[in-house]
Structure 1
């Protein structure tokens, strides 16, 4: 019996017993996957910290892409930062060298941006890599109620802050998530595409044990890979879903390449390392471009961290007992 071996091709060879053996060897370094990996390794990625003031994140990316001669889609980042603030966030840009990014520093600075910690990396940023956010916030124009003195006001504020430290705050989405100040809110746009609602639910382990604590309760965000409760909350969820014509929705829109698996969101969150102090000194206006407040009045300075997808405005709402 004979065996014919030819690299990357087939050759039939038979003996007197009409036995045919076909052997094909592929060179070790010629796999398709390796070719794709090599292309990815050859891509040029530069990481940096973007500081911006009074700019939307996408607006800042638009300026940067124009100056660097790349597309906005060549930038990767892990979230959108507020406009009316001085914000810092990690970004990665493709097809731009660190030297080239440094060259545009003076130009973008005139538009309210700075870049720092510039260095080469091997890949872009992905959603989910963000571990959280830190906030330094000044609340101005603290107002007394009735016959309250300054001491009474500070005492009530301190009590509210300590309460949030201990008990946390309900993890609502911030109003900016829905397009605050716009005629058509983003939730209405989402409804037109697919629509999702939220309800309260407990996790499987808690449900089977029939025991849970408030910190473990989550909201399911509608999608094809989430479980809904078999109780009145679940009934209300399905009722609302039906009212929007989505009772049979698979949460996939192939034409838009839209795929929503859904997720779970804790209803209660705690700020990390929350600290504060009062100031009766005038504080410079930051990041808003206008100021109609009396800077001479008492101010509250707050510093805290939040988990990803938590909103500082919602935490402040709990402390201040009013909508922002």
Structure 2
């Protein structure tokens, strides 16, 4: 844009309108210098739905940023090409705990003090043979439907003292197993079977040492696994209910991550033994604490990210990184929020808010490109004849959402509401939260287009005093974790709605910056800005046949109270470095486990064929690192688009 044109626009001010448009806008390095292009984003109507509406959802090939309201940038620098997560090892995440300490896996062994148990020295000194340990670990990890007894044969089974040591050690190390001596083929052997969970819980209660904290807190290191899947696997291996585990936040799947977990009354050495049993997960840094972790009880995450196959000159990259460090980025909900298939999750959420459960179910079961296996036949069958019995044939348990819905429809083919209600509560809320996120992104883009990066009268802010008060009652402010806590069935923080934002007026607007301004994640228990912004929410909702009152759902578990989210976030501890390399498969950053295994720092080729940008930064909870990276790259961050950039 020519300087004269930019100046003319600034002097005339932003156009006054209540309409929601599709702007392509950029905001220059200075918060008071805006460059916006209000021409419509190019619509590719043959492969995507640009605007939500009451009509049937159109087929999409994949979801783009423009489909979910991600339109603007902070800076006006030219972008560059670069691959995000070409390898999952390029994305390393370390949780930052509530005290600001970076969570790291630094040891795998149980500390001598932490592993003390009520037992005599003779029992402690006896070790089960390695093959027996593997057998017992396998038995303890089996589901109830798979479990069969294990038999231990010893050369000296007539030695009662030796058998007693085996029974005592099994009893101590595997509270979920029962052992007994039986006769098999005229020989005495030790038979080991799995206990029922109820018996196991009572056993823990009776044996837990007096004076010890009720929770074992440990660091979970995982690779290429999401947090919930990891916890489900751990619970399955240990034959315990997954609900005894707690965490402060979920971490990325395609990444190497370290975070703290608490588990109710579990000996640390039971977790330690899993280090040799479970793939892509490691456990360590154990301690016993009195209170469990709660969702939101962390300050954020530290990221170490490698962007591969970077183009663009080094000077421009340095300027882009300096802008990210000094000015921050627009705090959009990232593409992960909306799913990775051709069916955006917010479309399902929209259908639920409209009480159109048939549409929601059909979207969940709709065929989508790129899938393989029995789920493809299942979806095709449902689309063809809507027969749940036929669609269920051969469908594996891993497709839990689809299987749950179809099993319920098998009982009552037309009760789509009940079928949707049968799926896991977190999954149902995921769809609803995605629709809220779509609205937030769209309004944030319009807010920046209309008013730039300055506070205006009617905006909302949350002061430091309010944030401190909110931390005292047990949550961190400005995250959707607040909303999830408020919605949770066992929430101990029902007074969360005492947090009220301040509405800016002509007397206090000059006291704040854009870094203080928040937009509501729409819900039935939030305050809306007292300016055009409220109208923008209403206009978007009206286009989908909804109103602000729609978030007060007639099914209580589907009601959404809402939350507040900062428009702009400035990362902390920002650092970066450019490297050259030749091998596209070489790892370019070290994880906690790499350091524990004393791997050498990655070496870089001075005249390498490819260029990589290594970035370190810390972000608050619920912020998306990909949205920070997009300020540097200026390209679509969706997984489907990024996969087209991979160098193989």
Q: TM-score normalized by structure 2?
A: 0.39
Asked whether the 8 Å contact 1:251–1:259 carries over to 2, the reply is: yes
Aligned to 1:125: 293
- Equivalence map 1:158-169=2 (5 Å): 158-169=318-329
CA–CA separation in structure 2 for the residues paired with 1:259 and 1:97: 39
Q: 2:244 aligns with which of 71, 74, 85?
A: 74
| Cα offset, 1:242, TM superposition | 3.0
Q: 2:504 aligns with which of 206, 213, 219?
A: 206
CA–CA separation in structure 2 for the residues paired with 1:85 and 1:93: 23
CA–CA separation in structure 2 for the residues paired with 1:275 and 1:114: 28
Aligned to 1:307: 620
- Equivalence map 1:135-154=2 (5 Å): 135-144=303-312, 153-154=313-314
Q: 1:190 aligns with which of 349, 354, 366?
A: 349
Instruction: Provide structure 1 residue ranges, at least 5 long, that are not aligned to the other structure.
Output: 1-40, 145-152, 288-294
Instruction: Provide structure 2 residue ranges, at least 5 long, that are not aligned to the other structure.
Output: 1-210, 354-434, 448-458, 462-501, 591-607, 638-648
Asked whether the 8 Å contact 2:249–2:296 carries over to 1, the reply is: no
CA–CA separation in structure 2 for the residues paired with 1:157 and 1:184: 35
| Cα offset, 1:227, TM superposition | 1.1
Q: Determine if the alignment matches structure 1 residue 284 to structure 2 residue 597.
A: no
SS at match of 2:528: coil
| Cα offset, 1:284, TM superposition | 1.5
The list of structure 1 runs, each at least 4 consecutive aligned residues, that deviate by more than 6 angstroms after superposition, is none
CA–CA separation in structure 2 for the residues paired with 1:97 and 1:192: 45
Asked whether the 8 Å contact 1:85–1:286 carries over to 2, the reply is: no
Further displaced range: 82-91 or 206-215? 206-215
Aligned to 1:88: 258
Deviation readout 1:232-274 (Å, 9 max, x if unpaired): 2211211222333432626344645244221111110011010
Further displaced range: 182-191 or 167-176? 182-191
SS at match of 1:61: helix
Asked whether the 8 Å contact 2:232–2:242 carries over to 1, the reply is: yes
Q: Determine if the alignment matches structure 1 residue 270 to structure 2 residue 570.
A: yes
Aligned to 1:102: 272
Aligned to 2:219: 49
Aligned to 1:177: 337
Query: Are the structure 2 counterparts of residues 286 and 278 from structure 1 closer, same or farther at C-alpha, using a change threshold of 3 Å?
Result: closer
Relative to total residues, which structure has the larger strand share, 1 or 2? 1
Relative to total residues, which structure has the larger helix share, 1 or 2? 2
What count of residue pairs does the alignment treat as equivalent? 268
Deviation readout 1:154-196 (Å, 9 max, x if unpaired): 11100100011111110001111111x2233222232233353
Asked whether the 8 Å contact 1:68–1:96 carries over to 2, the reply is: no
Aligned to 1:7: none
Query: Are the structure 2 counterparts of residues 192 and 286 from structure 1 closer, same or farther at C-alpha, using a change threshold of 3 Å?
Result: farther
Q: Determine if the alignment matches structure 1 residue 157 to structure 2 residue 317.
A: yes
Query: Are the structure 2 counterparts of residues 218 and 271 from structure 1 closer, same or farther at C-alpha, using a change threshold of 3 Å?
Result: same
Asked whether the 8 Å contact 2:524–2:548 carries over to 1, the reply is: no
Query: Are the structure 2 counterparts of residues 189 and 319 from structure 1 closer, same or farther at C-alpha, using a change threshold of 3 Å?
Result: same
| Cα offset, 1:140, TM superposition | 1.1
- Equivalence map 1:33-44=2 (5 Å): 44=214
Aligned to 1:35: none
Deviation readout 1:37-62 (Å, 9 max, x if unpaired): xxxx9994221111111112222112
Q: 1:321 aligns with which of 634, 639, 642?
A: 634
CA–CA separation in structure 2 for the residues paired with 1:135 and 1:304: 5
SS at match of 1:131: strand
| Cα offset, 1:129, TM superposition | 0.7
